[in-house]
Structure 1
Amino acid sequence: MTVSIPLVALLGVALVIALRFLGLRLWQAIVCTLFGFLLAATALAPDIRHVLTGLMDLITGR
């Protein structure tokens, strides 16, 4: 996926906003981050990447 770095940056900004303004606690953010790393190592990772690529193609009009 060619937009992976901007997508990671966007999700990082969303995480910071959630921490500061939505009352997300640090331990909850850590659990979500660890879940993401573990999910990336499962057999579902290619399917998730395929869905994200399809969504980005839909948004960008490719």
Structure 2
Amino acid sequence: MVLNVSALVLFGTVAFLFFRRDGLKMSHAIVCALFGFYIAGSSIAPSITAGGASLASLLGGIKF
């Protein structure tokens, strides 16, 4: 678990710096994919999934 959290923080920080400084390059996309992989295996993954589903239902319920 400690390795997951460390990798999650590392890849999250690197992905944030890539987006702030440069455009998305292939190496940046790989780091972002690894960040997603580690976030999916973390303990906050169910909360992120529930939040995404809630946001999707909120946006889907908007009537124009």
Q: Percent identity?
A: 41
Q: Which runs of 5+ in 1 are unaligned?
A: 1-21
* Alignment correspondent of 1:48: 48
Task: With the length of structure 2 as denominator, give the TM-score of the two structures.
Answer: 0.58
Asked which structure has the greater RCO (Cα within 8 Å, sep 6+), the reply is 2
- Superposed CA RMSD in Å reads 1.8
Paired position in structure 2 for 1:16: none
Cα distance in structure 1, aligned partners of 2:23 and 2:53: 30
- Which stretches of structure 1, 4 residues or longer, exceed 4 Å deviation after superposition? none
TM (norm. structure 1) is 0.60
Q: Could you give the per-residue CA deviations for residues 3-50 of structure 1, whole angstroms, max 9, x where no partner exists?
A: xxxxxxxxxxxxxxxxxxx83111111000110011000000000001
SS in 2 for 1:23: coil
2 CA distance for matches of 1:38 and 1:25? 20
How many residue pairs get matched?
41
